[in-house]
């Protein structure tokens, strides 16, 4: 394992995005690549008298001003004063909310030797502009140690920038292995640095329930802990176990802290509470919610369990509505993820209550029973002013009216949903599952969940299927990278498996498709290593090419 850096200087080899007079002269490492960048001669220098002027100055716009001031203060000792100002002044940084910027997340950045001017339609656009300035500043800004005599400069440039997609996310499963609050915040920091806007937090699983629910204390007293964990690669038979109890959860105070922290970075936290499957931890806590009555223990193996929430039991829905009520109080996100994937129907087939539900509702089979389950939850969530997201299995038996689909088993589910007028987030495992190996030679690699997803393959993905019309493509909100943590036990390994593949998701979600160039991306990643190293991030630095594909071509 190594660390990664994000230097200031980069190579933008996208001729179409640059003015012809500047392309060959200068280049700077920015990830994601901006829509348009022109580089001039000269630099803006932060001095002891530099001020940050903001129009208007409020709680939201101050977040960006505070971030920039802190970046400058840490290594130089100079703390730019922040105040409200209506127009730029020599030696100042001017941040302006300007309705002439079309995109809600877009911005313009103009740097001269005299001043820096940032314009954006919203506070989030100002924040993304500051992330660009951050990547243009020397890597020392990532260090909290004072460096006497340090001069901080930003190269003169004109940048106009906005995202391609409105949803640019990363997922993290804490059900199999959970991570400290500090590690979660650091994960959020890296998303913010690369202009990503959603952290998808997978909080419940067969192997552990990770969020405190006040009304149901057994969920964390019992459901948050398993007796032991399968060791190494799971086998079909004769598994060995580590013999170590494992568990933990996030208190509601910790959840609120993380949500507030993410909000300060203009990142939405999308909570996921799994249903009707992947529910063994909940059933171990409250076995009356099952079809058989148990008893159960929190699952020690990975994979899919046949015991799921009973769809014929009214108590199940009362429980889930109570849980979701507390979840929605903690998370202000527009969407609530309800899972919906990998739900075996074996228990429902033999359960008198489930069969009676099928009969009473005039359903054809257990697939339609799952659709009933999802629709009922969707109706409840919708009544609270929110919308549900589910994995593409929620298409089975008919999709709930207001549901958004995450297409993970390839693109087919997303295509089907978009064609029927539903919004879609693309997460096909072939390209976006970072629990898979990132190099073909696994000799010196940590055990992964399986599969092979090198950086080049992730970068090559385009979330807009050609099978969709231009109108249908509008339902593709964006894309997300996924980290399932069966084989990811530590914060260091979490980062090693995440980076730099996460940054490929960031660029695909932000930069225009015609500007994407893998050679340029790798050069910029290499330039970024010093910045990542300064931050202290652990990351993979092996083969970035898809060596398997190269061999097949030969």
Give me 65's structure tokens: 């001003």
Tell me the pLDDT tens digit for each residue of 376-404: 999 999 999 999 999 999 999 888 888 99
Q: Could you tell me if 156 and 180 lie in one domain?
A: no
pLDDT band at 250 (very low <50, low <70, confident <90, very high): very high
Two structure tokens written together for 308: 């799921």
Instruction: Answer whether residue 131 is part of any domain.
Output: yes
Q: Are residues 295 and 442 in the same domain?
A: yes
Q: What is the largest CA-CA distance in the chain?
A: 78
Segment 187-220, tens digit of pLDDT: 999 999 999 999 999 999 999 999 999 999 999 9
Could you tell me how far CA 458 lies from the centroid of its own chain? 15
Question: Does pLDDT of 472 surpass 90?
Answer: yes
**pLDDT greater than 60 at residue 4:** no
Any idea what the CATH number is for the domain that residue 139 is in?
3.30.379.10
| Residues 316 and 383 both lie in one domain | yes
Is 85 within a domain? Answer: yes
Residue 65: how many other CB atoms lie within 10 Å: 22
Place of tokens 């090693």: 496
Q: Which of 126, 144, 161 is the last residue of a domain?
A: 161
**What percent of the chain lies above the pLDDT cut of 90?**
90
Which 8-state DSSP code applies to residue 33? P
The pLDDT assigned to 12 comes to: 34
Q: Is residue 14 assigned to a domain? A: no
Q: Which residue, 115, 137, 161, sits at the end of a domain?
A: 161
214 and 147 part of one domain: no
Helix/strand/coil percent split, the chain, to 5: 35, 20, 45
- pLDDT (mean) for 8-31: 46
Question: Which spans in 6-122 are helix H?
Answer: 59-76
Q: Answer yes or no: do 256 and 227 share one domain.
A: yes
Same structural domain for residues 434 and 299?
A: yes
CA nearest to 517, candidates 34, 16, 11, 14:
14
530 in a domain, yes or no?
no
Q: Are residues 94 and 228 in the same domain?
A: no
The model's confidence at residue 551, banded by pLDDT at 50, 70 and 90, is confident
Single residue among 143, 161, 179 that ends a domain in this structure: 161
Three-state SS annotation for 171-226 = EEECCCCCCCHHHHHHHHHHHHHCCCCEEEEECEECCEECECCCCCCHHHHCCCEE
Range of the domain at 434: 168-343+378-510
Q: What integer best gives the mean pLDDT of the chain?
A: 94
Whose tokens are 């290594």? That residue is 75
Count of structural domains, the chain: 2
């Amino acid at each position: 394992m190594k660390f990664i850096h994000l230097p200031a200087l980069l190579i933008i080899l996208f001729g179409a995005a640059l003015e012809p007079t500047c392309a060959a002269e200068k280049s700077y490492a920015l990830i994601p690549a901006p829509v348009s960048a022109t580089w001039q001669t000269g630099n803006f220098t932060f001095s002891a008298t530099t001020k940050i002027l903001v129009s208007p100055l409020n709680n939201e716009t101050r977040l960006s001003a505070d971030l920039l001031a802190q970046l400058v203060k840490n290594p130089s000792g100079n703390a730019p004063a922040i105040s409200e100002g209506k127009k730029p002044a020599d030696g100042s940084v001017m941040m302006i909310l300007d309705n002439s910027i079309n995109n809600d997340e877009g911005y313009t950045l103009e740097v001269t030797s005299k001043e820096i001017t940032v314009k954006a339609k919203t506070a989030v656009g100002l924040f993304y502009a500051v992330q660009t300035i951050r990547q243009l500043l020397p890597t020392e800004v990532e260090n909290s140690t004072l460096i006497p005599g340090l001069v901080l400069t930003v190269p003169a440039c004109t940048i106009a920038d906005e995202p391609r997609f409105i949803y640019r996310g990363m997922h993290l499963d804490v059900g199999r292995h959970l991570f400290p609050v500090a590690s979660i915040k650091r994960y959020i920091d890296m998303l913010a640095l690369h202009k990503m806007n959603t952290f998808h937090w997978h909080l419940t699983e067969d192997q552990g329930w990770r969020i405190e629910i006040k009304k149901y204390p057994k969920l964390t007293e019992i459901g948050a802990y398993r007796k032991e964990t399968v060791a190494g690669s799971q086998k079909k038979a004769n598994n060995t176990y580590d013999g170590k109890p494992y568990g933990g959860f996030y208190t509601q105070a910790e959840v609120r802290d993380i949500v507030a922290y993410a909000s300060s970075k203009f990142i939405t936290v999308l909570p996921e509470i799994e249903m009707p499957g992947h529910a063994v931890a909940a059933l171990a806590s409250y076995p009356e919610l099952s079809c058989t009555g148990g008893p159960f223990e929190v699952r020690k193996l990975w994979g899919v369990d046949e015991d799921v929430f009973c769809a014929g039991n009214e108590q199940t829905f009362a429980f889930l509505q109570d849980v979701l009520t507390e979840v929605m109080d903690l998370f202000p996100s527009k969407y609530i993820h309800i899972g919906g994937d990998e739900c075996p129907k074996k228990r429902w087939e033999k359960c008198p209550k489930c069969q009676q539900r099928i009969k009473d509702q005039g359903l054809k089979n257990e697939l339609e029973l799952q659709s009933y389950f999802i629709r009922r939850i969707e109706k409840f969530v919708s009544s609270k002013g929110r919308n549900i997201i589910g994995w593409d299995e929620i298409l089975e038996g008919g999709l709930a009216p207001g549901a958004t689909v995450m297409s993970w088993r390839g693109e087919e589910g997303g295509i089907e949903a978009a064609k029927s007028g539903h919004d879609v987030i693309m997460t096909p495992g072939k390209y976006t599952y970072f629990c898979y190996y990132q190099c073909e030679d696994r000799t010196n690699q940590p055990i992964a969940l399986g599969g092979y997803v090198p950086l080049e393959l992730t970068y090559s993905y385009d979330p807009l299927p050609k099978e969709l019309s231009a109108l249908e493509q509008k339902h593709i909100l964006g894309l997300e990278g996924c980290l399932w943590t069966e084989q990811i036990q530590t914060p260091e390994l979490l980062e090693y498996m995440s980076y730099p593949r996460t940054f490929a998701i960031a660029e695909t979600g932000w930069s225009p498709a015609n500007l994407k160039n893998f050679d340029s991306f790798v050069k910029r990643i290499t330039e970024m290593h010093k910045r990542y190293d300064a931050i202290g991030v652990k990351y993979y630095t092996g083969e970035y090419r898809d060596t398997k594909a190269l061999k097949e071509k030969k």
